[in-house]
Every structure is written in structure tokens, then in C-alpha cells.
Amino acid sequence: MPMGRKLLPMEKPITMKDQFAWLVRLIRCTHGDPAVRNTETFSRMMSTSSGEALKPATINKLEGGTLDFSIERCIAFEEALDLNLGDLVDPYIWLCRQAEEAPRTNWSKIREVEASEIELLVRVAQEEQLSPIDWLRITSIYRNRRELFQKPRTRDSFFHGLMRDYGRSYERDQRLMREALINVGEDILPYLISYIQVEPMRYFNTTEAVRYFNEDIDDKHLISLAERLDDSYSATCILESIGICLRRQGRRVDTLPEVGDVLREYVSDLLENTAELFMPREAALSLVRTGQVVLTQKQSRKIKQCRDELGQLAVQPSQFNPGQLLNQISTRLSRLLQEKRLSPETPIYIPGLDLILRNGIFGRDRVGRLCMGGLLGAWQHAAELTDALGKTLTDIPTEDFGVQRSMVRLVTKIGSSNANANLRRLNPCQTRDENTRLSIAWAMGSGHDPEDLTYLESLWKVAQSRPGKRAIVVAAYRRSFGNLLSEIARDRDMVIHREAITSIRGINTRS
């Protein structure tokens, strides 16, 4: 390929495999260094930086979606593109799991334990924190050589270390830690349930891993999970995981012994209760849509009475066409890219981006929408995209709060350093939907801007629901906002009081 020839990502990244290939090509084609944009010179750069010798034709096949990536190839691309470790590994694994495929990796073949892995196991025993990538390596050893962990004390130390480090992680790192849980498989389930009982807000999404376990999950474990639906945050991932596990076995939710009928009633009640946390309601709606839960006629009639609200839950705008919103975002992004354009060869219109954004905002599946944010987070122009999304947020009519909420979550998953500044464009007192405010509060758990504290304090003053208040507690804990937690601890709701006190103690211990 001649030096400077323009690269472009594919126009229609439909499959998960295509979407990841689209991302890698996007990063290269919008890169400021012409040597990166040129496939031949980039091939040499990869060989130098990572030792991964890929011919230009192979790179083109990978970025065209006709050849498979692997975790090792993702790491090699990260090194050559000067990305952070995990920037590509995270969306690659997430997309693979969404496609119900295991990510390709040489770690799956590990049989012999090397000195570096022994060192990691020693660090776990000493209660040192490991990186998510390190956990992926040593949990692969567990999967392949379980006999090395036969002693109860060894297994117990290993599993507690894994759960402890999961609780310390957030967003991207937490998703990588989820893959480590998947490597361990069903053996980790008793620990998941135990940790969720003690600290539900830190561990509720660990049960996402269950749906990806290779083996069929025994009914007794699914029943045990179903008995933890009293916490609205935990209920989201539990409902989704039970539904997916049973679907793989060709069964519906109501076939689960002892709790099947109770689950059907629970799903119906969730959809009818518009004041409930939106995430388990999204999961419940998905179960009904996919036929995993079949409602009675009486239940269906009740749910139809809140049809407009369910439309927002499904991210179906009532005041505009999705194409109008996507055009607004695209126009704003093109202007921002034009301002920062480093070379005439870098495109300001990105083929395929509209489709990715459509899936990320209006997609039918909750996790699929979030996954698009994780995908876009690796792009070096994620900040410009976040600005375009943030400026468009305030244009959405209040009647379409479901769309606004979906965009808040997309911005959060993209995870750019300017995410919170853009989310703060929404005035807490003027934002109609409590669940949108909750989503913003959750996002404030990451970042470094001191203005986030003032915004969280404003969110606390208008918080109406227990789930909304709990999200503020989590964010305040992650950011070490002790004074805010002290104020929250005076709340009359004993659940909020207890979680705020626990968070204050956690901050003191961390200090």
C-alpha cells in the first residue's frame, strides 16, 4: 500500500467480529502518525514493538473481519498503537461473549506452570492485588490444572483473592475480572453468592459471569441465585443469567423447579412497577420478548397500561426519529474532528459509526447497547465523540427520558476523561427521570474532576429512591468523598445508612 493512502473501516459492521475489526481499523485510519496508517510500515512497527510478525495482508484480513483476533493479538496491537494494556482486550472479550463465543487465547492451552505464574500465585496468597490481565493468566491455570488447587486452603485463598480484587475494580477492569470468573467456572458460585449477600453493591454484577460458563449450570445453583432477587441491583444480572442458562438448555424460566412460577410473577410485577430500578425491568422485558417468560393474559393486560413507559424502557423515542439524533451526533463529531484534524489523510466522516451508535443507543439488547460503549472507549478520539454526545444530550425532549438515559450509559461506558463534564450538562433539578439521575451518579464513581463532588451533592438533594441513593453512595465511596458519605449516613433509610457507614470505614481502611 503506498504511503499515505487513505484507510477506512467497513461501512456495515454487523456481527460482533466485524465490530471489533472495525474498531481496530478505525484506530489506525484516524491515527496522527502516517506510519501507523500505512499497513506495510505498521506491520514492521508491530514486529519491532511486540515481536508479533504479521504480514500486511494478514493485518488487512484481521481489520476486514475475515481473520480472527485473539487476546495475544489484541495485546500486540495495543503495544504497536501505544494503547493502554487492556484497551483492546476488553472490547474483544466482551464482543466474543456477546456472540456466545469464547475469546481465543494461548492461555487456554497452559499446562505447565512457569516461574512467573508461581510468583503471581504467591502474591495472591499474600493478599496482594493483581492486575486483571494477570488474573486472566492464572485463572487459565486453574481451569486447565485444577489438581494443583485441590487443598481446601489453597482453593479458598485463591477464590477469596479473586473476589477481593474484583471488588476493587471498576468498569473496564471489572469486565476483565469477569472473564477471570468465567475461567474458574461453576466452582466460584458459592463465593459469588456469599459476597453478594455481604456487599451487594460491589458484587451484584459478578453473576453476569454465570451466563458464560462453559458447563450447564445445575438447577440447584440457579435456584440459589433466584433466592437473591430481593436486592434490585442483583436482580438484573441474576434474571439475565438464569434466562440465558436455561435458554441454552432449551427451557423456559418457568420450568425451573420450586421457583419458576415465582419468577414469572416477579417479572410481571417488575414490568408493572414503573417506580422500580430500571435495570431489572430491562432484564424482565428481555425475558418476555425472547419467550423465556410467558405471561398470563391478566398479567399482560396490566402491563399494557404502562405501554408508554415500557417504550422508554425499550429505548423507543416518541418525539423524534432515531436517524435525526444520529445525524446531529455525526454532524457535531465531524466538526470536532475537523478542528483537531492532524492530517488530510485522516477522515472526518467515519464509515460504520452511525450503525455502532444506533446499536449503542437504540439497540434491542441492554448488554449489547453497553457493549458498544466499551468498544468505542478504545478510540483515540473518544473524547471528541463524548463531546458530541454530551452536546446532544440536552437536545432530547424530556418525554424521551429513556433515550437520554441510554446516552448517559453509553458515555459512561466509553469512559473518556471528559465524560463527567459532559454528563454534568444535565441539571439534576430539571432531569425528569430518577433513573437517569441514578445513571449519572454511577458514572461519577470514576474521574478526577473536583466539580463531580458538587454535582453528586446536588444529586443527593433530589434523590427520591433507594436505588438512586445507593448509586450515590457507591460513587462517593469510589471517589473517597467522605464528607458526603457522612451526610448520607444520616438518612432514615437503614439500608442507606448502613451502606454509607460501611463505605466510610472502607475509605478509612484504604487510606
Q: Tell me the pLDDT tens digit for each residue of 244-294.
A: 999 989 999 989 998 999 999 999 999 999 999 999 999 999 999 999 999
The pLDDT-based confidence of 342 (bands split at 50, 70, 90) is low
Provide mean pLDDT across the span 420-436. 94
The residue among 161 and 431 whose pLDDT is bigger is: 161
- Kindly state the average pLDDT of the residues 60-79: 95
Say what the pTM is. Answer: 0.93
Residue 100 pLDDT exceeds 70: yes
Q: What is the pLDDT of residue 2?
A: 43
d(CA 438, CA 495): 17
Q: How confident is the model at residue 216 (pLDDT cuts 50, 70, 90)?
A: confident
Mean pLDDT (the chain) is 93
The pLDDT assigned to 355 comes to 97
Q: Whole-angstrom Cα distance, residue 362 to residue 396?
A: 14
Residue 375 has pLDDT above 50, yes or no: yes
Task: Determine the average pLDDT of the residues in 397-409.
Answer: 96
Mean pLDDT within 425-447: 94
Rounded Cα gap, residues 163 and 177, in angstroms = 9
Mean local confidence (pLDDT), 313-336: 95
Q: Is residue 238 within 8 Å of residue 228, measured between CB atoms?
A: yes
How much is the pLDDT for 6? 66
Cβ-contact 62, 21 below 8 angstroms: yes
Q: Which three cell numbers stand for residue 181?
A: 470468573
Residue range 411-431: mean pLDDT, rounded: 95
Side chain identity at residue 360, one-letter code = G
pLDDT tens-place string over residues 123-158 = 999 999 999 999 999 999 999 999 999 999 999 999
Residue 72 near residue 105, CB atoms below 8 Å: yes
CA torsion through residues 83, 95, 21, 51, sign: positive
Confidence band (pLDDT; 50, 70, 90) for 324? very high
Binned at pLDDT 50, 70 and 90, residue 214 comes out as confident
pLDDT band at 89, cuts 50/70/90?
A: very high
The whole-number pLDDT of residue 4 equals 44
Q: pLDDT tens across 164-198, in order?
A: 999 999 889 999 999 999 999 999 999 999 999 88
State how far the Cα of 175 lies from the Cα of 173, in Å rounded to an integer.
5
Report whether pLDDT(508) > 50: yes
How many Å apart are CA 325 and CA 320, to the nearest integer?
Answer: 8
pLDDT at 3 over 60: no
What are the residues whose beta carbons fall under 8 Å from the beta carbon of 430, sequence distance 6 or more? Answer: none
* Strand, helix or coil for residue 350: coil
The count of other CB atoms within 10 Å of the CB of residue 329 is 20
Neighbours of 314 (CB within 10 A): 16
Q: How many CB atoms lie within 10 A of CB 142?
A: 22
Nearest to 138 by CA among 156, 153, 123: 123
Instruction: Work out the average pLDDT over 207-229.
Output: 88
